[in-house]
Structure 1
Amino acid sequence: MDAFVDNLDLEGLGFKHTKLKSTGRPPYNPADLLKLYIYGYLNRIRSSRCLEKECKRNIELMWLLKKLAPDFKTIADFRKDNKEAIKKVCRDFILLCKKLDLFSGELVAIDGSKFKAVNSKKRNFNQQKLKRKIKEIEEKIEDYFKDLEENDVKESNVSSPTAED
């Protein structure tokens, strides 16, 4: 994941803040925040606040992000500002895996389960069905972003403990 993200053309993909300005405080590197989101996706962490906590306690993330610990608001804003670019990265990653033959669809591993052999019209694919499947995958990505947004909204409504509690 580290090498994959480091070799992406983030500016070409449409990520914001890829070039540093000469004034003001520099923003987080979009590559680092992208690595954080990919890590969260792979480990089923769907909340900006949980990603923030993981940055402070998880040794893998400390290494991956070089001990950066962005605030949950920074993490959520990155997702909101770069939604389309992150979708492009998801597509590029799948294409890379296919190109590297990490999955080919030729091998089926069976764990002792018995399956019926079916080759009906619903079970084989043509160009039109593949396009529909790609559209379904893109909708799942969109649903994933909606889940992230909903979790951030829910968590922002939960009051934080104060010194008075």
Structure 2
Amino acid sequence: MRYTNEDIIRSLRRCAEHHNGKVTFDSYKQSGLKPNITTVVKRFGSFNNALRQSGIDLNKNRTKEEIINEFRRTMASFSYIPSQIEYKKLNTNPTLQTMAKHDLTYMQALKEIGINLPNRSITSKTRSRKCDVCGTVFLPHNGRQKYCSRDCAYELVKERQKMKHQVRSKLWWKQQ
């Protein structure tokens, strides 16, 4: 079936109604509406051009919090913390340019999502770890480091001492 520009625009507007006025490439693709995304892009040259023609706002007005949340989801998908150059090459969202528009550097974005880096450069495929106590993602200084800070290590030591004391007191009461 051959679709006219008006058919495509109606389909985009229908998708916008279901998504509170915002249509993304993925939301349209997942909606299953006809024509498919390839036809839309071929007809208008790009998905954003199709949105402009249909009078739908482009999704460019994201807040800093939305950018940070998207960055958090992206970083969670990696098994390591990529360097800034590697992150750029991976072509992920949000891009470094998008972060810069919101006055965020790559390192600031990492800090915002709770990844505390030591004062050293990130080498390619530096393996990050999750703190056994608080769950914060961090870069270990050596291969044996399990905790993000001395405070977390101390918390675990206090917990172990408490458990030892409980076991000893139970044994003492059994002997009585």
Q: TM-score, normalised by structure 2?
A: 0.26
Greater relative contact order structure (CA < 8 Å, 6+ sep): 1
Q: TM-score, normalised by structure 1?
A: 0.27
Structure with greater helix share of residues: 1
